Amino acid sequence: MKQTALMAGIIMLALVWLGPLLDVYRASFTAHMLAHMSVVAGAAPLIAIGISATRWDVSGKTRLFSPIPASLVELVVVWTWHAPALRLMAQTSPTATVLEQASFLAAGLLLWLSCLGGGYGGHDWHGGAGAFALLLTSLHMTLLGALLALAPRPLYGLVPVTCLSFQLGADQDQQLGGVIMLMIGAAVYLAGGTALLARLLALPDEQTSGSDE
């Protein structure tokens, strides 16, 4: 299970980073958002599952690696890189693209490991903190996605772009990118937070049944 998740996460990273999204279609905000969501909501949780409870699991090491601070780190990273000036820099500079993608992966791994990692010994408070952190991340992903999709004018360009062989106007490109963040990013973090919350709520019943046996 863990090895499969780890390999799937690494393969997803390779497809994103070595594929056309950050190269051929780098001018498209939709392509950027597909790459972004694949890293933070696809590869990062898979890799976190794969390295959980191994020597690479940094959860529980310091307060930075606890769920709430990790969620705030991801919030700052995501919102910062979507400022128009930095988005343009990442679009036009290979060095900035590397920094952007590396920070997305680092922030995503930090958050998912802090929520799913085995460094806390299964404490109840950690499950609650992890659920809150993922739900908070889903909330700010929803807000950013909605702002991008509903913005009255394009923020990242004025000319038509091509994404996956489809030509999009600048406003359509931004709107579709915002919808992708809503459909993938917000949904994945919401699902993760809900799953942790459900597991936490079920814990007393499990403990009770265990003690009865």
Q: What tens digit of pLDDT does each residue of 116-148 get? A: 876 555 555 567 888 999 999 999 999 999 999
User: Between residues 54 and 129, which one has the greater pLDDT?
Assistant: 129
Alpha carbons 15 and 102: distance in angstroms, whole number: 15
Q: 162 pairs with which residues across the strands?
A: 167
* β-pair type (166-168, 161-163): antiparallel
Q: pLDDT band for position 205 (50/70/90)? A: low
pLDDT of residue 21: 94
Percent of the chain residues topping a pLDDT of 70: 87
**40-50 exposure pattern, b = at least 16 Cβ within 10 A, e = fewer:** bbbbbbbbbbb
Q: CB of 114 within 8 A of CB of 151? A: no
pLDDT at 203: 63
pLDDT of 210 above 50: no
Token pair, residue 171, equals 């406003």
Q: What is the per-residue pLDDT for 198?
A: 85
pLDDT tens digits, 57-113: 776 666 667 889 999 999 999 999 999 999 999 999 999 999 999 999 999 999 999
Q: What confidence score (pLDDT) does residue 204 get?
A: 60
Give the pLDDT score at 160. Answer: 92
State the chain's mean pLDDT as an integer.
87
* Spatial contact of 46 and 109, defined as CB atoms under 8 Å apart: no
pLDDT band at 37 (very low <50, low <70, confident <90, very high): very high
Buried residues in 117-140 as b, exposed as e (16+ CB within 10 A) = bebbeeeeebbebbbbbbbbbbbb
What is the pLDDT at residue 115?
87
